[in-house]
Amino acid sequence: MEGDCLSCMKYLLFVFNFFLFLGGACLLGIGIWVLVDPTGFREIVAANPLLITGVYTLLAMGGLLFLLGFLGCCGAVRENKCLLLFFFLFILIIFLAELSAAILAFVFRENLTREFFTKELGKHYQGDNDTDIFSATWNSVMITFGCCGVNGPEDFKFASIFRLLTLESAEVPEACCRREPQTRGGVLLSREECLLGRDLFLNKQGCYTVILNAFETYVYLAGALAIGVLAIELLAMIFAMCLFRGIQ
């Protein structure tokens, strides 16, 4: 009976580690996609140190889970106590790190609000100055997503550096202007009319809403995946300890 129980535990641990392996692969895939995605998401991430740290943490955790899922599978099949102990300790460390990251994300969630981005845009945006990484990032985002400011063109009325540099001769930056097609290489419909704030020639919708709508599905998917991975890690630790204690 004990042998049957141990055998059952071994295969259950193998199954959970296989899912852990797949979860790690998915986290790696999401992290890599965010860094290389050509639709502009990487520029949004690069604009916020908290977000870029989160992406690299996601990559690191995905890589470790990928490796440890593989080691856990090997340890379960071979019934190797050393591999199982190594697996348990590292899964515990990763579990605690992910839990800490989730708590930090909750604590610093105000850094991702509409008000935060509006305030930062007003303080730091310098218009077409591509030598400034903050302004260049915002220009890339506005051109890529066909949007203007955080809430809309009115945000630039309160962008102090932008107003100073343009001597208040432009209502919006060139990045807000409509293009055909809507890409960096696209032709402006009318630069002069756009800079004067004419509705027909500029993108009216704010970037916060546009980006939120574009990535809402991916955010919920990533959150569900993270919860699933945490649950699998917890179960894998329990099975690993049970199997470790049962091996002679």
Q: What is the mean pLDDT of each run of 10 residues along the chain (248 residues)?
A: 62 77 82 69 57 75 81 75 77 79 70 83 88 87 91 92 86 92 85 90 92 73 73 74 68
- Tokens at 223, concatenated: 């959150």
Residue 187 Ramachandran class (φ > 0 left, ψ -120 to 50 alpha, else beta): beta
Helix H or strand E segment including 187: strand 187-188
Q: Residue 153: its pLDDT value, please?
A: 93
- To 10 degrees, the CA torsion angle through 32, 33, 38, 42? -70
Residue among 129, 138, 109 at smallest CA distance from 46:
138
Q: pTM of the entire structure?
A: 0.57
Give the pLDDT of residue 176: 94
